[in-house]
Amino acid sequence: MMFWYGHDVSGWGWFAMSAGMILFWALIITLGALLYRALARPGGSEPLVSSPPTGPAPTPEQLLAERFARGEIDEDEYRRRLNVLRGGYGPQLTKN
């Protein structure tokens, strides 16, 4: 009486085993992904991807020269602003 179906597993048994196997592997993969993300989190001892080294910030004169080279300002504007940057004074504007 104990083995009504013999030693065979019915259709629902196969379904339950298949679903259990899928859930088991999904759980294992999820735990592995969470563990990887926790260990590879930025701000740890060493970042996974290093940022490229940045040089010193450009000086105001270099920025002005770049604007002149790109054609954003003309030569007169460049010379006037360069003179002001170097401590000279530009043309005085007078009020009438």
pLDDT at 6: 62
Residue 39 token pair: 């260990």
Residue 24 token pair: 């088991």
pLDDT at 70: 93
Q: Residue 23 and residue 26: Cα distance in Å, rounded? A: 5
Residue 57 has pLDDT above 60, yes or no: yes
The answer to whether 78 and 64 are in contact (CB under 8 A) is: yes
Residue 62 has pLDDT above 80, yes or no: yes
- What percentage of the chain carries pLDDT values higher than 70? 72
Label residue 8 by pLDDT band (50, 70, 90).
low
Q: Residue 93 and residue 96: Cα distance in Å, rounded? A: 10
More confident residue, 13 or 9: 13
The alpha helices in 1-96, defined as continuous H runs, are: 11-39, 60-70, 75-85
pLDDT at 15: 87
